[in-house]
């Protein structure tokens, strides 16, 4: 009975989808709806309007800024959930890191050798994100991976000591705060959320600032995940 019902549901849904797909314009046709309205508008004025020479960035941080804000909130919420779960288990006594292995001198040397280059690459990805494909999230992930790598070599305790709680507090929430600030400033000064100022250099500066905030936020969210999983391992 349930199988028959499932079959009916599948057939109905598949029929609806087939009907929808059959109405689509042929892929790549220049007079499809997607290519005539918004996309043409973005391509014509995107660079000036959005303050980003790269159109993907223009869409991500300006036309769809609210959407990106949502993504930032999702990452932040995930971090909050992980931290909350970690806190809930912390009452079981002090942490023990008894089985910690000394780091191999080879790995230590190579990571020290490569770390500056990785950091430079992360920063490059974040800052060049408004000119080239790439950007805040990707660069932030590279930066976060670098810090996790350093945590593996130096030991999580030294990583934790390098990142005092106030610093963690601000770096984790910086993306959220920056987006909220830009949104509210736009609303106050121009009348709608994420409105950017008239001057082009100011627009570009704000976009770069947002990229930087996303990168730092993503990096420290990753470090937060790592530190709290690491603390969990010793319990």
Q: Which residues bind another protein (CB under 8 A)?
A: 101, 104, 106-107, 110, 113-114
Closest separation in Å from C-beta 161 to another protein: 23
N- to C-terminal Cα distance for the chain? 48
Closest separation in Å from C-beta 144 to another protein: 18
Comparison of 95 and 104: residue with beta carbon closer to another protein: 104
Comparison of 141 and 168: residue with beta carbon closer to another protein: 141
CA distance 145 to 118: 9
Closest separation in Å from C-beta 118 to another protein: 10
Closest separation in Å from C-beta 146 to another protein: 13
Q: Please tell me the number of Cα atoms within 13 Å of 125 on its side-chain side.
A: 21
What are the contacts of 194-201 at 24+ separation with CB within 8 A?
Answer: 194/62, 194/65, 194/66, 196/50, 196/51, 196/62, 200/48, 200/51
Comparison of 5 and 101: residue with beta carbon closer to another protein: 101
Comparison of 141 and 195: residue with beta carbon closer to another protein: 141
Alpha helices, H only, the chain: 2-22, 33-36, 38-50, 55-58, 65-88, 105-127, 136-154, 156-162, 165-189, 200-233
The tokens for 228 are 């709290």
CA distance 158 to 201: 40
Contact 47, 53 (CB under 8 A): yes
Closest separation in Å from C-beta 130 to another protein: 23
Comparison of 29 and 104: residue with beta carbon closer to another protein: 104
Comparison of 5 and 113: residue with beta carbon closer to another protein: 113
The tokens for 139 are 């660069």
Closest separation in Å from C-beta 106 to another protein: 5
């Amino acid at each position: 009975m349930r199988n028959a019902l499932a079959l009916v549901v599948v057939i109905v849904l598949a029929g609806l989808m087939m009907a929808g797909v059959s109405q689509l314009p042929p892929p790549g046709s220049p007079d499809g709806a997607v290519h005539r309205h918004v996309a043409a508008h973005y391509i014509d004025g995107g660079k000036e309007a959005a303050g980003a020479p790269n159109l993907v960035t223009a869409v991500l941080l300006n036309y769809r800024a609210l959407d990106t804000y949502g993504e930032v909130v999702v990452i932040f919420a995930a971090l909050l959930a992980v931290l909350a779960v970690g806190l809930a288990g912390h009452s079981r006594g002090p942490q023990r890191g008894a089985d910690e292995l000394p780091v191999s001198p080879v790995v230590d040397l190579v990571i020290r050798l490569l770390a500056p280059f990785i950091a430079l690459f992360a920063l490059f990805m974040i800052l060049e994100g408004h000119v080239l494909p790439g950007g805040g999230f990707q660069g932030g992930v590279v930066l976060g991976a670098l810090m996790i790598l350093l945590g593996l070599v130096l030991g999580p305790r030294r990583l934790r000591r390098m990142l005092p709680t106030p610093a963690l507090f601000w770096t984790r929430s910086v993306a959220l705060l920056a987006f909220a600030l830009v949104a509210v400033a736009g609303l106050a000064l121009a009348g709608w959320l994420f409105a950017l100022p008239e001057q082009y250099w100011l627009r570009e500066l704000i976009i770069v600032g947002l990229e930087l905030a996303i990168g730092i936020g993503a990096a420290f969210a990753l470090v937060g995940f790592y530190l709290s999983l690491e603390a969990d391992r010793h319990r």
